[in-house]
Amino acid sequence: MQIRNNDTALIVIDVQNDFCPGGALAVPDGDGIVGTANALMNAASHPVLTQDWHPAGHSSFASAHKGKEPFSTIELSYGTQALWPDHCVQHTHGAEFHPGLDAAAARHTVRKGFRQEIDSYSAFFENDRRTATGLHDYLSSHGIKAVACIGLATDFCVFYSVMDALSLGYRTAICEEACRAIDLEGSLEAARTAMRGKGAVEVSAAELLSSSTA
């Protein structure tokens, strides 16, 4: 897969301050992908960003549920939801893209998780698995047939985005050197197995950047 191709989009997932060291839900070495993400975005014909964008008191925050701790789970109307520290609250520093990310290189930004009662890991569908974010319509209207996913975190938002992209019929690649994981109770291995099993291919940044016909 090559991101210079007109029918291919690069989806850069949640490279935001709160997911980087020092942030409220820091992913280990989350900021270690910024340089590669910039190189890929600047080469891509269709770079798209996603931004986790929660209202204060969001239902995915442990603090919104009496007696609940972060990294536990709760049953919401649509099923089991993991509970997180407050993070990516709209219009706060934590919700901003990492300052080193060349966000201006993006052609489109998708905000997700802004409905009080529904979390959204995937760039395509919220956690009720029904509510669309609008990204599929956007990509379809631009003739996109293939997507390469990078960003934070491998085993949550990247994972759900990859699985939905496959379900929607996109040729789908993940570039793990440009991803970092939370890895909660084996979630990284489980995510890898599920992504491979459904047909996602692992690609290097070098391959995504190449323009060979091989």
Interface ranges with ligand VGL (CB under 6 A): 14, 19, 52, 84, 121, 152-153, 156-157
Among 149, 157, 175, 179, the active-site one is 157
CB 178 within 8 A of CB 40: yes
Cα–Cα distance list, 146 to 1, 2, 8, 39, 65 (Å): 8, 9, 5, 19, 39
Is residue 14 a contact point for Zn ion (CB under 5 A)? no
CB of 204 to ligand VGL, least distance (A): 22
CB of 74 to ligand VGL, least distance (A): 14
Cα–Cα distance list, 134 to 31, 39, 157 (Å): 27, 26, 16
67-86 binders of Zn ion (CB under 5 A): none
The residue from 31, 52, 86, 155 that contacts Zn ion (CB under 5 A) is: 52
Active site residue 175: no
Dist. CA 207–CA 177, nearest whole Å: 12
Residue (156 or 170) nearer to ligand VGL, CB: 156
Active site residue 14: yes
Total Cβ atoms within 10 A of residue 115? 16
CB 86 within 8 A of CB 52: no
CB of 193 to ligand VGL, least distance (A): 18
**What stretch of H or E contains 13?**
strand 8-13
CB of 142 to Zn ion, least distance (A): 26
Give me the residues that bind Zn ion (CB under 5 A), please.
52
Q: Which residues are annotated as catalytic?
A: 14, 112, 157
